[in-house]
Amino acid sequence: MTGGSSDRALSSTTGMIIFIAIGAVLTASGTYLMLELGNEDIGATATVAFEASQDGERIVIEHTTGDSVASENLRVVGAKVVSMPDVVGSASTIEVIPTATTVTLLYEDGRVSQELLSTEAELTRLVVAVEDGNGNPLVGHTVGVYDPSSKPTVSSPEGLLTDVERGSVPTPTFVGTTDENGEFATVPATREGLESGGEYVVLTATNGPATERTYAVGSVVIDDRENVVHLVLSE
């Protein structure tokens, strides 16, 4: 009788140990599975190096060493991309025009966002931001970038709209004045061309029909630190 009780106790203890062991294995497997599932969307980092050089208004970003990277995984912040190959590999170059004083190249894959390059830029264009009197960006008024060296030669709103539709002007937002005949004339958006506090006509051109392209009158505030011309529209 005593032996039977001992056997049952031993059997019960052994069963408990086996149960705990199985639970531990299942927990470990579940944890591993969760980690694997979690890692599916994380993505991998890139082992790659870039160098940047500026020539005039353009910056050339050159792949110097490391992995080849698909262009769909690259994002440029603070600049407009002029050209980028589908696969950026050894000696490949990316050409951009800066719109901010710092240009950053990011590698993005899944939830990975990796900074590959950050370089200071000298702006030869002025960023133009359209705001209300409180400094809030106005919905429907496009932020444009002006090229002082090649401003569009436009003498009337009709000519401007035609050029916008052809895509032959550098930005969909223009500043100007009206001449004695009431025609719109552009003003170069430079510190020499714009007087801070002066009143100008703002023409906003959207991708919609011509009826969405409107005039507004506003004053100009120039921020020397940010190299930004703020067009503050009258309410």
CA–CA distance, 84 with 200 (Å, rounded to integer): 37
Predicted local distance difference test score (pLDDT) of residue 145: 37
Domain with CATH 2.60.40.1250 in the chain: 48-120
Predicted local distance difference test score (pLDDT) of residue 22: 57
Q: What is the DSSP string of 173-222?
A: EEEEEE-TTS-EEE---STTT--TT-EEEEEE--SS-GGG-EEEEEEEEE
A 10 A CB-CB count for 134 gives 7
DSSP-derived pairing of the beta strands 126-131 and 228-233: parallel
Biggest CA pair distance of the chain: 120
Q: What is the DSSP string of 20-81?
A: HHHHHHHHHHHHHHHHHHHHTTT-----EEEEEEEETTEEEEEEEEE--EEGGGEEEESEEE
Q: Which residues, 6+ apart, have CB-to-CB distance to 95 below 8 Å? A: 58, 59, 60, 61, 81, 82, 83, 84
This model's pTM is above 0.75: no
Predicted local distance difference test score (pLDDT) of residue 112: 87
Predicted local distance difference test score (pLDDT) of residue 20: 58
Per-residue pLDDT of the chain in tens (235 residues, 90 and over written 9): 455 555 554 455 555 555 555 555 445 444 443 444 444 455 678 899 999 999 877 899 999 999 999 999 999 998 888 899 999 999 999 999 876 778 999 999 988 899 999 999 876 544 445 555 565 655 444 333 333 343 433 333 344 333 334 433 333 344 555 455 544 455 544 444 555 555 454 444 433 333 333 334 445 555 444 444 455 544 4
What token pair was written down for 232? 């503050």
Predicted local distance difference test score (pLDDT) of residue 30: 46
- Domain 48-120 is in which class? mainly beta
Of 89, 75, 79, 90, residue with least CA distance to 54: 79
CA–CA distance, 142 with 63 (Å, rounded to integer): 33
